[in-house]
Amino acid sequence: MADGLPMPKVTWLQRLARYAALYAAMWRNSLIREMGFKTNFLLWIVVELLWFALQITFFLVLYTHTEAIGTWTRWQVVMLVGASHFIQQVFTALFLNNCVQLSEHVRTGRLDFLLLLPVNTRFVVSLRHVDLGSFVNAATAVVVMGYAARQLGLSPTVAELAGFGVLLVAGILIHYSLMYMLACISFWTVRAQGIVWSYYNLFNLARFPDEAFRGLFKVAFTYALPVLLVVNVPVKMLVDKLRSPWELLLLLGMSLLLLWISEKFWRLSLRHYTSASA
């Protein structure tokens, strides 16, 4: 209240516009930072493209010795590799550096400054930096998926493509929620980069068909650390390999559940935060 007058109420639409403007500013800052190191920007794009090409080559060579992995044919697996690369690169673009930097914010006390900002702290911590080069690599994954779909003779409808996109977003949210919780361990251990990068390296399992795994290993990487689930389900839906809607519901439900749990864990972590300046 100012001068006896009530403060104007901020609507959800105004709040959304405010956060959109803030996020646009973060993108501009990221672009300026990337253009300040153009050689590094281009080099990492090339490195990721070569790594993507090696992944595809590995499976193409593998398929010169076999007709299928389980029930997965050559071009179905190529689409799986493309979807895995797309999810990994979009996650890297939006969240990876921010999750890795959380432990540094805690260790150095920079989190004190972020907590004082008049915005949601998790929003700033999660989205402050954007790796724009990863979007270039994500675009190459889309090209590969499109080519694989053509080889398979697929003609997905707009609704199917929209559903595929929703499932990919759900997979990205699962990765983000899990990695954010792992990063929050830094409130107790100070440094958690090793744990975060270890989970990131597990992403490589996502490019394999789930039928290639058996027993406890498959259960662990489908339900506990669902790196197989987040890529296999969207591709199965697109190539008509889903046996039941259970996998769709599991992926969507797990993405929402883990996002909610990660928020609770973040709040718990903040209650255990001791300011570096204290």
The mean pLDDT value for 244-259 works out to 93
Please give the single-letter amino acid code of residue 221: F
Spatial contact of 45 and 137, defined as CB atoms under 8 Å apart: yes
* Model confidence pLDDT, tens digit, residues 206-217: 889 998 888 888
**What's the pTM?**
0.90
What sign for the dihedral angle of Cα 155, 159, 160, 162?
positive
Return d(Cα 65, Cα 270) in angstroms, integer. 53
Instruction: Find the mean pLDDT for residues 255-270.
Output: 96
Residue 4 has pLDDT above 70, yes or no: no
**pLDDT value for 1:** 47
CA atoms within 13 A on the CB side of 207: 24
Asked if 89 and 48 touch (Cβ cutoff 8 Å), the reply is: yes
Over range 55-60, report the average pLDDT: 93
**Band (149; pLDDT cuts 50, 70, 90):** very high
Band of pLDDT at residue 203, cut at 50, 70 and 90:
confident
pLDDT at 276: 59
Q: pLDDT tens-digit profile of 18-49?
A: 999 999 999 999 888 888 878 888 888 899 99
Cβ-contact 173, 94 below 8 angstroms: no
The candidate with the shortest Cα–Cα distance to 73, out of 63, 88, 81, is 63
Q: Which two tokens stand for residue 69?
A: 């992995």
The residue-averaged pLDDT of 182-196 equals 85
Residue 212 · residue 69 · CB < 8 Å: yes
Check pLDDT > 50 for residue 2: no
Neighbours of 58 (CB within 10 A): 12
- Residue 278 pLDDT exceeds 60: no
Nearest residue to 125 via CA among 149, 95, 170, 158: 95
Residue-averaged pLDDT of the chain: 89
8 band by pLDDT with thresholds 50, 70 and 90:
low
